[in-house]
Structure 1
Amino acid sequence: MIGRPKGKKRGGRHVQIMEYMQATEAWATMKPGPRALYIALKRLYNGGNNGEIFLSHREAAKALNVHRNSIGSYFAELQDRGFIRLATPPYLGPSGIGVASKWILEELPTKDKKPAGKAFMRWRKKQKPRTKSEPPRHNHCAKEAETPCKKALSGTTNVTQSANSFKSAAQ
């Protein structure tokens, strides 16, 4: 039987998104842009560099084929929902060249063997506060469901009576 040579793996590298993560409310309600950014970040993970993942906004925008001004909201949404955490913020190096942020993927243990935070499991969509229901316009009419509103009718009757009295006075 001829098999594949030892040491060779079938296929190329791949990104694995776990089922339990996809089933969370945080992932299910997320827009496609931040999802694509998470996959781009996960592609940079090599099995032991969590917390040392470099990805600048410009590189991320180029990888996702979007404008660099829109990528900041993608990073913010991933942080807000608990998928990533900032390990080291960006800074200007000693030679004047900027150094990109270092990111931590919350679903995996970090390089220094700290357990995964998995904050995305606890994330819930913020619900808008309920508004109080307004009472009916004619509170006094609600009590008398079968009969028409007396005050509303009396107002029309008064107008009609005053119009009739005006006509008779004019004659």
Structure 2
Amino acid sequence: MSRSDKKVGVSVHVLNGVYEVVQDVSGHLNGTLGETGRLLALTAANDVPTLNRMAPYFWRSLEHREAVWPGHDDYKDIRHLIAPVGKAVQRLYVRFMPYEIEDIDRIAFALGKQRAHAVAALLTMASKDLRVIQLVAPQFQFRSPYSLKRGSFLWASSPKR
């Protein structure tokens, strides 16, 4: 017999850029990477504009609240979005409550992929949308591409830290 409140773990491979956004949001929230990934994925799974952007990847129909996104035969392959060939990825371990995983599973079914692919797609979509990120972490702003990342070689050698 298993506990009804036991979390469901999902091991996700995400692009380095997505991983860094999750790290930055995690630092903003003073939380863990897994918890931040969970919050971002769930927020994206319940965000209609995000689901609209995912619609071209749906193989099967998805129903969410009052909206329906029909599946189609000429769907795009989600693997080109979440892990393009030649791009570096990192592993992120996310744990969901059993009642939370239902939204993820519905999206995975619509995509015709595994749960991990659905979470990776949601995190990829969320990492590109400041509005979704700010639903999880109010007042968050993306780091400038010209700023030094804490812990880098240049950070340690800079005159002002």
Please give the range of the TM-score, normalised by the shorter of the 2 chains.
under 0.3
- Which of the pair has more CA radius of gyration? 1
TM-score, normalised by the number of residues in structure 1? 0.22
TM-score, normalised by the number of residues in structure 2? 0.23
Higher helix residue share? 2
